């Protein structure tokens, strides 16, 4: 199979959620749940156009799926539910479809939780179809 030598990028906007409600960050609430907004980029590390379908989960809960038929360069934004409490969380980006397998991908991104800005990655892994890059996020 011939691979096009163009940068393959997966761009999604995600607001990841874990269970809980409200947004009270007062001193009397020891575990405030706040909106977690993430902007993620999953890119083929070798510059090949291979991504077709990618999903995002947060703490094991599916947050959304983006498709790029034929391995196009970007996907539409993905949005999820708000709410994340302090602690360690796991963000997973799963390659559900690709034009060939396996491929090397790099996950990078930024997040905002309350007034805190966070950097996600970079994290690079060789992924077959159905495999994920997982990143721990401490809030």
- What string of pLDDT tens digits covers the 139 residues of the chain? 333 322 333 344 343 333 334 444 455 556 688 888 888 888 888 888 888 999 999 999 998 888 887 775 445 445 455 578 999 999 999 999 999 999 999 998 888 888 899 999 999 999 999 999 999 999 8
Is residue 70 classed as helix, strand or coil in its secondary structure? helix
Residue 16, Cβ density class (10 Å: 0-12 exposed, 13-18 middle, ≥19 buried):
buried
pLDDT at position 17 is 36
Give the other-Cβ count within 10 Å of 97's Cβ.
18
CA angle (115, 19, 122) in 5-degree steps: 55
Stated pTM of the model: 0.76
CA angle (85, 35, 58) in 5-degree steps: 65
With beta carbons less than 8 A apart as the criterion, state whether 103 and 81 touch: no
């Amino acid at each position: 199979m011939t691979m096009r030598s163009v940068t393959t990028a997966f761009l999604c906007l995600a607001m990841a959620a874990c269970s809980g409600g409200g947004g009270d960050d007062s001193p009397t609430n020891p575990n405030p749940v706040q909106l977690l907004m993430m902007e993620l980029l999953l890119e083929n590390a070798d510059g090949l156009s291979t991504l077709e379908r990618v999903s995002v989960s947060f703490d094991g809960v599916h947050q959304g799926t983006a498709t790029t038929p034929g391995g196009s360069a970007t996907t539409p934004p993905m949005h999820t539910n708000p709410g994340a409490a302090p602690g360690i969380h796991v963000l997973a980006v799963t390659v559900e479809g690709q034009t060939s397998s396996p491929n090397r991908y790099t996950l990078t991104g930024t997040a905002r939780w309350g007034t805190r800005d966070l950097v996600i990655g970079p994290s690079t892994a060789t992924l077959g179809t159905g495999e994920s890059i997982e990143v721990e996020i401490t809030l």
